[in-house]
Amino acid sequence: MIETFKRTAVLTMLPLLLVSLSGLAKESPEDAAAHRLVERLSPVETLQADFSQVLMDSRLQVQQEASGRFHIARPLRFRWEVDAPYAQLVVTDDKHLYVYDPDLMQVNVEPLDEALAGTPALILAGDPAEIVGEFDVLHYQEDNGDRFSLFPKAADSMYTELRLHFSDDVLTRLEILDAMGQRTLVQLSAVEINAPIDAELFSFEIPPDTDVIGDVP
């Protein structure tokens, strides 16, 4: 009789225990938002758009403005071409990142893994699944879409928050906030997702008579 009572008690408590444990195992809001962002970005194999960029100081005074076009193809193919006010090209190949200033006839060369580490470019061109481990993420609904705010977990990150704004699941704006209170706004237009991109856009030949700084290939 006593044994029967014990078995009945255990069977009665087991479902309650499982419900309790399942509650403990629920994702935090940050993890849920991170997984939602991963789902949003994972189908994107290529991304290209025109951009206008504004850098503001801590008092929201405009310090710099620029415009151009960028191309991204996973994995780790990136081309950022500034047309105005001064021409500049940032492009990656298999091993290096190049920052070319034609007016100065100068190019900076860095190893790709070091150059992209912790940058917004890595979020868009790298593996989206890595977002979960590297950022705390919050998700907000906005009048014209939604926003993901990413806070780097690494103490030595070059920025404190990255905001990705979407409208109808299309990335339309990025905001980058740094520890000095500076804010960079990047507005996107003519956005193309998963359109073919010429592979030659992700190669770079150093022009003759150009000063090379850094890791020469």
Residue ranges covered by each domain of the chain: 29-195
- Fold of domain 29-195: outer membrane lipoprotein receptor (LolB), chain A (2.50.20)
- Percentage of the chain beyond pLDDT 90 is 62
pLDDT at 130: 86
pLDDT at 201: 95
Q: Compute the distance between CA of residue 202 and CA of residue 91 in angstroms, rounded to an integer.
A: 6
pLDDT at 123: 86
Predicted TM-score of the model (pTM):
0.81
Distances (CA, A) of 135 to 71, 106, 118, 132, 139: 24, 34, 10, 6, 13
Please provide the DSSP assignment of 103-166 as one string: TTTEEEEEEHHHHHTTSHHHHHHS-GGGHHHHEEEEEEEETTEEEEEEEESSTT-S-SEEEEEE
Q: Which residue has the higher pLDDT, 99 or 121?
A: 99
Q: Using alpha carbons, select from 73, 61, 62, 83 the residue that is nearest to residue 124.
A: 73
pLDDT of 23 strictly over 50: no
pLDDT at 156: 82
pLDDT of 64 strictly over 90: yes
SS3 203: coil
